[in-house]
Amino acid sequence: RDNIERASFSPTHTKYKVYIIDEVHMLSKGAFNALLKILEEPPVHLKFILATTESHKVPETILSRCQRYDFKSITSEDLKQRLLYIAQVENISIDEESLAFIVKQANGWLRNAISLFEQLIYNDTISFENVIKNYWIPRTQVISDFYQKLLHKDVSLLDEYEQIISSYNLNLFFKELLFYIKDELIAHLSDEKLTQANIFILETLEEVYLKSKNSFDAKTTFLVWVIKCVKNISSQK
């Protein structure tokens, strides 16, 4: 309310007064009502920028008085090119595996990509060996072997589970598995049985991944998923 009251006065040095309200969906009902009053008849010098990732939580009375701009996620190729540009300007050496890892983890957000990029720099270099060492992530071959054993109901998978959780970051391991299976799904759409198995794994893995964040014991949560997944895949075949 204080900001809105001050906003009514004309600017002294610029043409417009611009107010940026970040995470606008977090405003209280009273705050939205106060904002609505000035949005209904805004002074010519006043501009509001309402930023949110959850527009469905913003009252319709507010949305109907706004010009809406939906920002899309940045493509993997654009993220890659931007990181390569930063590496060139800052004289940072980076290998392809590290670049692919950063782009994958960024999930379409440039801020996340740059933040991770900065964290991985060591002696003006980003190498995948250091990525593996610092983040405890598995190589593609490890993920591939795990996936194949999952499909073929290999009992040794359960015996190896303890080694997996002691050798790798558990959440990153299953996140990498999710990315790997997504690629396998797209690559083998002509194989109906394999496609059904991949879809089942992806759907249940995403559920258990989200569940693990609030679990008392994420290790057990993932272990139960592995057991259930193997049984269901086996029965489907």
pLDDT digits (tens, 9 = 90+) for 214-228: 778 888 888 888 888
Cα gap 118→148, rounded to integer Å: 35
Question: Exposure pattern of 119-151 as b/e (b: 16+ CB <10 Å)?
Answer: ebeeeeebbbeebbeeeebbeeebbeebbebbb
Q: Which amino acid is at 59?
A: P
Q: Across all residues in the chain, what is the average pLDDT?
A: 87
Higher pLDDT, 134 or 20: 20
Q: Where are the beta strands (DSSP E) in 39-110?
A: 46-50, 93-94
In contact, 146 and 180? CB cutoff 8 Å: no
Closest of 150, 142, 134 to residue 227, by C-alpha:
150
Identify the weakest region by mean pLDDT among 34-38, 125-129, 154-158, 170-174: 154-158
- 161 vs 25 pLDDT, higher one: 25
Residue 156 CB neighbours (<10 A): 8
Mean pLDDT is lowest, of 43-52, 58-67, 136-145, for: 136-145
Q: Where does the pLDDT of residue 237 fall: very low under 50, low under 70, confident under 90, or very high at 90 and above? A: very low
Does the pLDDT of residue 234 top 70, yes or no?
A: no
Mean pLDDT of 11-18: 89
Residue 85 vs residue 233, higher pLDDT: 85
State residue 233's pLDDT score: 59
Q: Looking at the predicted structure, is the pLDDT value of residue 121 above 70? A: yes
92's CB contacts (< 8 A; 6+ apart) are: 86, 121, 124, 125, 126
Task: Look up residue 84 and give its two tokens.
Answer: 């390569």
